[in-house]
Amino acid sequence: MLVVKPRTDFEPVHALLMESLSAKAVMSAVELKMFDYLEGREVEVSELADEMKLIPERLEPVLDILVAADLLVKNGGGYGNAPVASEFLVSHAPLYQGDSMALTMRFNATVEDSIATMLAGGEGDRAGTDEGWGMAEIMEGTAQDAKGGALSHVVDFVTELPGFDGFRSMCDIGGNHGMYTIGVLERNSGMNGVIYDLPHVVEQTGLRCEELGFSDRVTTQAMDFKEGRLPAETYDLALTSHVLYAFEDDLNGALKRIAEGLKPGGWFVSHHYAGRNREGRELTKASLELLTRLCGYHSHFIEQEELTVALESAGFGDIRFQPVSSGGLGLMTAARKLA
């Protein structure tokens, strides 16, 4: 028979494929600063198209995609920003995420057209990806991502540690844009920080810290932590954010090297992904894991149980965990170096 009745529904698969177009429509709206035009008012399609010099018939479905994504609200014939767009997608907003979104799309693009090839053993441009961490544009994207997500939560988590007011020195391993260090130092005026990162990264990190007014309290040091060592018993606090997973093949060794750099009683704080086996956000978790493995890492997730064993083995105690948010994947960890 040429006509066969389906036993199941293929529509969800088709919808999934269409979502890739929707994501690019959202990104195009950000690039066009569409949310700037809509901030604080409601505008009809024809008026917005005239202002932005766009074709109304083509603009309208983009606006409807943004409504479906809860980024715009539509009242009658007028469109306006939803609260999330006002906070994150207006280009002059303090928590603007446009560069961060472009960075995510760029990273995805490095693998999405060659997934089948890479599954069969082909390699992606890992060297090019690593080289990009030192570029000003990419560093701004990662900084925006931090500010719009975990940064404020991690800073609060650190400042609530016992003895924080007495901390005088910290290091940020793989600190890149420096916002975690700056955020902590803003809460403790008697504290200084060192940001460690790869040689091609720290020059731009230093320029960024200088622009933000922290050149007198933050220094940068080139180091590949897979080979380098922290100065012994120097820091009250050692911090990592989305870095620890890169050392999962030798997690115990990495944590022992971190412990070496801490004063007795000093604190280690990590922010990373966890909860891969917890229910919810299954597609996001699987997609993140695919991107991570195609980029050459074992996993982007480190669970509490695994990290607890490794921390205790490395000489840490008083281990505490806290999720960044109730429904998110971020996990904050703190552990004190035993005397």
In terms of domains, do 262 and 328 share one?
A: yes
Residue 317: inside a domain = yes
> What pLDDT is stored for residue 129 in this prediction?
54
pLDDT in tens, 211-239: 999 999 999 999 999 888 999 999 999 99
**Per the structure, how many domains does the chain have?**
2
Q: Is the dihedral of CA 310, 313, 316, 321 positive or negative?
A: positive
Q: Can you give the residue range of the structural domain that contains 82?
A: 11-93
Give the pLDDT mean for 279-287: 90
281 — pLDDT class (breaks 50, 70, 90): confident
* CATH number of 238's domain: 3.40.50.150
Contact 185, 177 (CB under 8 A): no
Q: What pLDDT, on the 0 to 100 scale, is given for residue 131? A: 57
CB 337 within 8 A of CB 316: yes
Given a cut of 90, is residue 33 above it in pLDDT? yes
Run of H or E residues at 80: strand 78-81
Mean pLDDT, rounded, of the chain: 93
Q: In what order do the strands lie in the sheet with 72-75?
A: 43-44, 78-81, 72-75
Q: Quick check: 238 and 262 in contact, CB under 8 A?
A: yes
| Mean pLDDT calculated for residue range 6-11 | 94
pLDDT band at 106 (very low <50, low <70, confident <90, very high): confident
- Three-state DSSP class for 266? strand
Same-domain check for residues 58 and 176: no
137 & 224 share domain:
yes
CA 63 to chain CA centroid, nearest Å: 27
Contact 133, 139 (CB under 8 A): yes
300 in the same domain as 167: yes
Of 268 and 288, the structure prediction assigns the larger pLDDT to 268
> What confidence category does residue 279 fall into, taking pLDDT thresholds of 50, 70 and 90?
confident
DSSP 8-state class, residue 333:
E
Q: Are residues 40 and 136 in the same domain?
A: no
The pLDDT-based confidence of 58 (bands split at 50, 70, 90) is very high
What is the pTM for the complete model shown?
Answer: 0.89
- List, for residues 113-168, the tens digit of each pLDDT value: 889 999 998 876 555 555 555 577 888 898 999 999 999 999 999 999 999 999 99
Q: Where are the alpha helices (DSSP H) in the chain?
A: 11-31, 34-38, 45-52, 56-68, 83-88, 98-112, 115-119, 126-132, 136-148, 151-159, 179-186, 199-211, 251-261, 282-294, 304-313
Neighbours of 182 (CB within 10 A): 23
Query: In the predicted model, what is the mean pLDDT of residues 276-287?
Result: 89
Token duo for residue 36: 């700037």
Q: State how far the Cα of 45 lies from the Cα of 37, in Å rounded to an integer.
A: 12
Domain-located, residue 119: no
CATH number at residue 47: 1.10.10.10
**Is 320 a member of any domain?**
yes
Rounding to the nearest 10 degrees, give the CA dihedral for residues 326, 327, 330, 336. 20
Whether residues 81 and 155 share a domain: the answer is: no
Q: Which of 209, 165, 211 is nearest to 191 (CA)?
A: 165
| 258 and 147 within one domain | yes
